[in-house]
Amino acid sequence: MIIRAYKDSDEIGWLRCRVLSFLHTAYFDNVLNKKESYENPAIELVAELNGQIVGLIDVEYEKEEKTVCSRGEGLGGMIWHIAVHPDYYRQGIGEKLLHAAEKQAINIGLNRFEAWTRDDPWVRNWYEKMLFHKVHSYYHIYLEGKEMKNKIQSNIPKLHLVNAFAHYVGDEMEQFKTSSQRIHECVCYEKYLKIQ
């Protein structure tokens, strides 16, 4: 296996790896049909094995403080995507990708990474094992049909809302837990990088 810079010709393999990796997580429906591009510079790495993309990491980083990351001081990098193909789980690929990205980040003057994830225990455990610390959270709430009653409505005549996705930053979750079937805590993790 090699870890190398992402190339445009990797896009299909990148997409397949990400979709399959996310399939059994709380982000199962966050499907992309093309790889994101970033406004700021980014560290974009893939893990390749026998010509197949088996892992990936994308870290968009700051040239000016708080232009990409929402927390901390100094220049940081936001991990937008990290994924390992499910056929290659538990082989240390995610950790190798993270360490390679950290090394590049330190070389360009970044002092930390920020990452957001949902409430999959195994994903949170992985971040904590990689020495990230939880620093903030809020909720992603999906509402459908009658769940939206008295919560979300349209002021446009003849526009009927079918479902909604919302961010909730309050503390009164009981009003949602009784009706909504899909609520996720969205957690921000942060890791300060150790300059060698």
Same domain assignment for residues 160 and 80 = no
176 Cα distance to chain centroid:
24
Query: Cα–Cα distance between 33 and 83 in angstroms, integer?
Result: 16
Same domain assignment for residues 14 and 110 = yes
Query: Cα–Cα distance between 183 and 196 in angstroms, integer?
Result: 41
Same domain assignment for residues 118 and 143 = no
pLDDT at residue 42, rounded to an integer: 98
Query: Cα–Cα distance between 101 and 58 in angstroms, integer?
Result: 8
Same domain assignment for residues 86 and 113 = yes
Same domain assignment for residues 131 and 117 = yes
Same domain assignment for residues 96 and 146 = no
Same domain assignment for residues 119 and 172 = no
Residue 168 lies in domain: 138-184
Domain count, the chain: 2
Same domain assignment for residues 99 and 172 = no
Same domain assignment for residues 20 and 99 = yes
Same domain assignment for residues 80 and 58 = yes
The label of the residue with tokens 């970033």 reads 38
* Prediction pTM value: 0.91
Task: Go through 170-186 and write b for each residue having 16 or more CB atoms within 10 A of its CB, e for each that does not.
Answer: eeeeeebeebbeebbeb
What is the mean pLDDT, run by run of 10 residues, along the chain of 196 residues? Answer: 98 98 92 95 98 98 94 92 96 98 97 95 96 94 83 88 89 75 91 83
pLDDT at residue 196, rounded to an integer: 57
Same domain assignment for residues 68 and 164 = no
Domain with residue 49: its CATH number is 3.40.630.30
Same domain assignment for residues 6 and 39 = yes
Query: Cα–Cα distance between 141 and 120 in angstroms, integer?
Result: 15
pLDDT at residue 195, rounded to an integer: 72
